[in-house]
Amino acid sequence: MGLFSFATEGQLSKDEVCELMLPLYDDFCYVFHSAWDEWQGQIPAATRDKVTPMQRGGFVNDLAVDYAKNMFRNREKQQIHICEKLNFFKLYIGGTKIVARLKKLQPDYTVPASAYSSHRQARLWYKNSHIPGLVNSATRLTIGYILNPIETEISEIAVSSQIGPQLLWGVRIHDEAHSIDGVNSVDTTKKIYENEGLPEIQISPTGERRSQSN
């Protein structure tokens, strides 16, 4: 029995998730970039400077949720369902195969424990424990954005799976060359982030892959 198998039994694999998510990659990029652009463009710099990183994360997340509601409303025929039961926003994708939250991610593709440790329901979510009112057979994912080191712009948008603070895997949207399997090796993650020579692989909504060289 492998690490975390008790919590991941019956869950979709990374490849299965990517196959379902591929047609939505552009939509999620739009959602997060629009939210960040509104934060940067509509809030005066002097006001932004007074806001803590945690407060900023909450504000940008609220904006992202609003954009996501508009983006994914009335798309049930595509097996995408908005759900706000249990007092938090989530998306069911592929019917009930996937249930995803929108969050700011750390550079290692995880949501930090500090962001959920004080909330019982959030702790249950990231432990993959049973939550009444949730489709508990669905694979739980986080779809989020990562800021650059000086936190002035979005550097990545990614989808990830974690159990507690431990990353199971993460995939940078539109760049499969930067997918990582967190349980396997921290060193693997470092090598991926340090390898700046990898070509950027853009994936269109039709699934066509285009390599862009500098």
Dist CA 161 CA 143 (whole Å): 9
Task: Using only the alpha carbons of the chain, give its radius of gyration.
Answer: 17
Domain residues for the domain of 42 are: 5-212
Dist CA 31 CA 96 (whole Å): 22
How many independent structural domains does the chain possess? 1
- In sequence order, the 6+-apart residues with CB closer than 8 A to the CB of 18 are 159, 171, 176
Is the pLDDT at 197 greater than 80? The verdict is: no
Q: Look at residue 75 in the predicted model and tell me its pLDDT.
A: 97
Q: Is the dihedral of CA 79, 15, 186, 151 positive or negative?
A: negative
CA 147 to chain centre: 13
The reply to whether the predicted model has a pTM over 0.75 is yes
Least confident of 20-24, 149-153, 176-180: 176-180
